């Protein structure tokens, strides 16, 4: 609802609350002075409702992040946009843990990779009695899985403005890789694949 409509609604509500009679006019200065204040309080209450959603928070973003333990070791200081910070916060606050493929895909979706897929390498091991089209993977492959990104890898090169202890070149999506490595079961290894 826009501000003009909200102001008109409060004007009408206050007018309806007045007792009937000639004591009050339609353009009473007291009512005209109260209406903008009521409308402003109403709008700020709507802002507070929006701020309670991690996907939409702006004013309370830093407080949300502090409560959620963000930024963490996966965050790159000063590199995240507002939208990326909101997505990361939403993923951290609303993630329901699990070790299923659906859980990891939902986390990837929350942090901005809805098209990512997961490949697992486990399954039956190939034996001399196996069919020729059976898997060739060994038992250790049961503990390896791969996250497949649809976007090309990001490459960051050192520049003359870089600090002397920075890497000459880095590649990959460090935030998504860090989040997946933090969430993966400790007995597994995650491989990241880029086109």
pLDDT digits 0-9 by tens, 83-135: 988 988 988 888 777 788 999 999 999 888 899 999 988 665 666 777 777 66
Please state, as a whole number, how many other Cβ atoms lie within 10 Å of the Cβ of residue 63: 11
Orientation angle between helical segments 101-110 and 82-94, nearest 10 degrees: 150
Q: What is the pLDDT of residue 67?
A: 92
Distance CA 49, CA 90 (A): 15
Q: Which two tokens stand for residue 14?
A: 């206050």
Residue 47's closest CA among 32, 36, 59, 37? 59
Domain limits, the chain: 3-51, 95-193
Tens of pLDDT, residue by residue over 36-83, are 999 999 999 999 999 999 999 999 999 999 999 988 888 777 767 899
Distance CA 3, CA 7 (A): 6
Q: 165: which DSSP letter? A: T
């Amino acid at each position: 609802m826009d501000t003009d409509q909200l102001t008109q609604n409060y004007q009408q509500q206050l007018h309806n609350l007045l007792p009937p009679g000639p004591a009050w006019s339609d353009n009473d200065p007291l009512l005209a002075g109260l209406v903008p204040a009521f409308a402003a309080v109403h709008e700020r209450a709507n802002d507070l409702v929006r701020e309670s959603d991690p996907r939409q928070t702006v004013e309370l973003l830093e407080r949300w992040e502090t409560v959620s333990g963000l930024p963490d070791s996966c965050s790159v200081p000063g590199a995240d946009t507002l939208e990326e910070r909101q997505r990361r916060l939403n993923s951290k606050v609303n993630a329901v843990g699990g070790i299923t493929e659906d859980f990891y895909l939902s986390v990837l979706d929350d942090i901005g990779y809805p098209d990512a897929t997961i490949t697992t390498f486990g399954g039956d091991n190939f034996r001399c009695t196996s069919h020729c089209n059976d898997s060739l993977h060994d038992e250790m492959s049961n503990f390896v899985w791969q996250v497949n990104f649809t976007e090309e890898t990001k490459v960051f090169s050192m520049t003359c403005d870089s600090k002397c202890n920075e890497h000459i070149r880095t590649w990959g999506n460090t935030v998504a890789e860090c989040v997946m490595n933090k969430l993966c079961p400790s007995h597994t290894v995650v491989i990241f694949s880029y086109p």
